């Protein structure tokens, strides 16, 4: 499916207040692979929209009292996935907010349905080489602690991209300043919410 058309960068974006009002209690839910930038972009997006930012992985770690690597090591992936589904279900009742989810969260059909009911899903879609470059910088992703992380990443991409593609919106995550992606997400959300650009971002007194 082609990416949705975006507003021209010069076109003013609707104000944070207009977007918040149209969102109601729905959350903006960022989905996509490890390294797509969900947390770093999500934090900036929330700031720009005056919404709170919640990182599902951090909340899972808080609930479990241990880092994700330890959850995988001590209890296994199934245990992690069950906790992930529970935590995200709870967080989705706390909208409006920007919620960044771990790369596997949207693959769970129950979680996907809940996100559909209580949020607007935005897939941060990145090219494999961009993801690979980014994930090489960190070693805290248990799924990629394999003999050939690149092959593992490609296998996950193959399995997951068709599922991510059902997200409400897709925004291309790439190596440009975060603010560019943030504005593209806001433009896509505004269009999806049917908002005009009458109350322009930053132009209100
Ligand atoms: C996972 C992604 C991680 C984390 C866990 C599993 C995945 O989150 O939830 O290691 O299945 O892709 P990020 O996508 O934020 O790295």
pTM of the predicted model, to two decimals? 0.91
d(C-alpha 65, C-alpha 14), whole Å? 40
17 touches 158 (CB < 8 A): no
Residue appearing with tokens 């005009």: 196
d(C-alpha 204, C-alpha 132), whole Å? 41
| Nearest-atom index, ligand 1, CA of 55 | 15
| Nearest-atom index, ligand 1, CA of 34 | 14
What is the number of alpha carbons within 13 Å of residue 196 lying toward its C-beta? 2
Kindly give the distance from the C-alpha atom of residue 7 to the centroid of ligand 1, in angstroms, as a whole number. 31
- Domain-embedded: residue 6: no
The response to whether residue 160 sits with its C-beta less than 6 Å from ligand 1 reads no
The response to whether residue 57 sits with its C-beta less than 6 Å from ligand 1 reads yes
Q: CATH no. for residue 163?
A: 3.40.50.300
The response to whether residue 102 sits with its C-beta less than 6 Å from ligand 1 reads yes
- Domain-embedded: residue 5: no
Domain of residue 90 covers 16-204
d(C-alpha 118, C-alpha 28), whole Å? 9
Kindly give the distance from the C-alpha atom of residue 102 to the centroid of ligand 1, in angstroms, as a whole number. 4
The CB density around residue 146, as the number of other CB atoms within 10 Å, is 12
Q: What is the pLDDT along the chain (205 residues), one digit of tens a residue?
A: 455 555 555 678 999 999 999 999 999 999 999 999 999 999 999 999 999 999 999 999 999 999 999 999 999 999 999 999 999 999 999 999 999 999 999 999 999 999 999 999 999 999 999 999 998 887 788 998 888 999 999 999 999 999 999 999 999 999 999 999 999 999 999 999 999 754 444 433 3
> Residues for the chain: how many in total?
205
């Amino acid at each position: 499916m082609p990416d949705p058309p975006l507003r021209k960068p010069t076109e003013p974006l609707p104000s944070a207040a207009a977007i918040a009002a149209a969102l109601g209690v729905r959350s903006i839910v960022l989905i996509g692979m490890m390294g797509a930038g969900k947390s770093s972009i999500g934090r900036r997006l929330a700031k720009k929209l005056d919404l709170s930012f919640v990182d599902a992985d951090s909340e899972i770690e808080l609930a479990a009292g241990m880092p994700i690597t330890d959850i995988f090591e001590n209890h296994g992936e199934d245990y992690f996935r069950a906790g992930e589904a529970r935590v995200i279900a709870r967080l989705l009742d706390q909208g409006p907010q920007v919620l960044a989810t771990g790369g596997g969260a949207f693959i769970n059909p129950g979680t996907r349905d809940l996100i559909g009911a209580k949020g607007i899903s935005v897939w941060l879609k990145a090219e494999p080489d961009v993801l690979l470059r980014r994930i090489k910088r960190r070693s805290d992703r248990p799924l990629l602690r394999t003999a050939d992380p690149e092959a593992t990443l490609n296998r996950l991409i193959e399995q997951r991209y068709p599922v991510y593609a059902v997200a409400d919106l897709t925004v291309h995550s790439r190596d440009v300043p975060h603010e560019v992606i943030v504005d593209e997400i806001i433009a896509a959300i505004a269009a999806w919410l049917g908002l005009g650009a009458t109350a322009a971002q930053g132009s209100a007194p």
